[in-house]
Amino acid sequence: MPTDHLPPPFVQRMIALLGEEAPAFFAHYDAPPDIGLRVNTLKLAPEEYRALSPFDLDPLPWNPTGYRVLKSDSSPGIHVTPGSHLHHAAGLYYLQDLSAQAVAEVLDPQPGERILDLAAAPGGKTTHIAAKMQNRGVLVANEIHPKRVWDLARNLERWGARNVLIANETPERLAARLSEYFDRVLVDAPCSGEGMFRKMPEAVRDWSPEFVAGCAIRQTAILDTAAELVRPGGWLCYATCTFAPQEDEHIIARFLDDHADFELVTPAWKPGFSPALSPLPSSAGAGGPRPYEASSPQAGRGPGGAAIRLWPHLAPGEGHFIALLRRSGSAEASVPEPARPAHGLKNLLPYWEAFRAHALHLELPTETLHLVKSFLYALPPDSPDMAGLNIVRPGWWLGSFKKDRFEPSHALALALLPAEARRTVSLDAAAAGRYLHREAFRADGEDGWVLVTLDGRFPLGWGKRVRGLVKNHYPSGLRLL
């Protein structure tokens, strides 16, 4: 077994858990990691993307929008990876671990709901939730780390989601403001990252039994607070990318002991899902978990309740643990104060209206517009009042007011359908590549803002045409190098 580079206590524990399956589990470390791709259904259907994809795609059994990339398009001297392709810049897909793509499917968000992703960066599961919501409802994406929250914002911007509020807060402060507000809450818990050992050597370096124990303490506190945010009758999903029972089954068993108003629920069982350790080990038990037995779920239920494990030797991806819980009751979600319009917007609205009339076929109700400093946002309908909380983006960022004009944002461009723009410029792949290098180009037409698209279908960003020359307004920080 190729275990020399893995921490000995980790190896010993996995042998004890997996028994005769341990050699197959450790053998996966000899293979290169899978590349997972999830199609953005805010922009196109999965079958549409398969028809135009330059990659050989193998469908996932647990996510109808997810694929394993088997082969990348290449030509002599050139190899185009999924992360450097024009389709990625246009937000047509998100690159996400294959097993991680099961989490939002288990959470099962619905359009029109109020949903919270409590530990959202870098945005894989958040973008999946946003796609399933189809821009209807309120999605709060929270990330406590001040640097990672901007990675989250950039990924959501490229995804083209319009109904997302991005927060940089502690779970406790969110719970104090939004208690019992959400229909569904996802806790993608910070964990020891054992499922990332194949992709991230630093995860192996940082691992220790003490680190696992510390993660379990944090996870317990986060999950307890998350429970306060779920309305009666609502759903709570807990997920990790670690194999440690101390961070998985132990956490759920203790939570159920302490929260009589929650129950573990069986999600729809998909090929590749395996049952959690059986039985769910009690956090108070002295003996720890019994060895894992690779028995098939009966009637959609795995032994030990309904929690799921995805093992990398039994299914594509790096491995995950997922537990779906439901809160008893059927009361309506709490209704906090609605968001309040900011002062000063009235005097600036003419600049926005002038831009909208010039550049967009899009109506946004004035009561949803929100000003933060010079930045204009469109809030999702029925957004809660988040004043006093650290909010990075309170809604769809439309653009910024300058001295005597309105300048549109990249987030506005990437969330538009081409038909929602009055002026568009269609570029082929070669010209689009030059645009992503921030080159200007010539295109005849009326002066003013134009939406630059790939093949007339997929927005890439803004340009501003002056006498046939389109000046490039692609964000400099995103320039394709």
Distance (Å, rounded) from C-alpha 331 to C-alpha 235?
Answer: 13
Q: Which of 191, 215, 237, 241 is catalytic?
A: 241
Residue 241 among the catalytic residues:
yes
Domain at 419-481: CATH code? 2.30.130.60
* CATH 3.40.50.150 in the chain, residue ranges: 101-327
Q: To which residue do tokens 């979600």 refer?
A: 333
Superfamily of structural domain 101-327: Vaccinia Virus protein VP39 (3.40.50.150)
Q: What strands, in cross-sheet order, belong to the sheet with 424-427?
A: 424-427, 448-454, 458-466, 469-472, 441-442
* CATH 2.30.130.60 in the chain, residue ranges: 419-481
Residues in Cβ contact with 428 at an 8 Å cutoff, skipping those fewer than 6 apart: 455
Architecture of domain 32-95: 2-Layer Sandwich (3.30)
Walk along the chain (481 residues) and give the pLDDT tens digit of each residue.
567 789 999 999 999 999 999 999 999 988 889 999 999 999 999 999 999 999 999 999 999 999 999 976 544 444 678 999 999 999 999 999 999 999 999 999 999 999 999 999 999 999 999 999 999 999 999 999 999 999 999 999 999 999 999 999 999 999 999 999 999 999 999 999 999 999 898 999 999 999 999 999 999 999 999 999 999 999 999 999 999 999 999 999 999 999 999 999 999 999 999 999 865 544 433 333 333 343 333 333 333 458 999 999 999 999 999 999 999 998 666 666 666 656 679 899 999 999 999 999 999 999 999 999 999 999 998 899 888 999 999 999 999 999 999 999 999 999 999 999 999 999 999 999 999 999 999 999 999 999 999 999 999 999 999 999 999 999 988 865 4
Largest CA distance in the chain: 77
* CATH 3.30.70.1170 in the chain, residue ranges: 32-95
Rounded alpha-carbon distances, angstroms, from residue 73 to 23, 88, 176, 208, 460: 34, 14, 50, 40, 21
The b/e string for 288-304 (b: 16+ C-beta within 10 A; e otherwise) is ebeebeeeeeeeeebbb
- Taking alpha carbons only, the member of 34, 100, 101 closest to residue 66 is 101
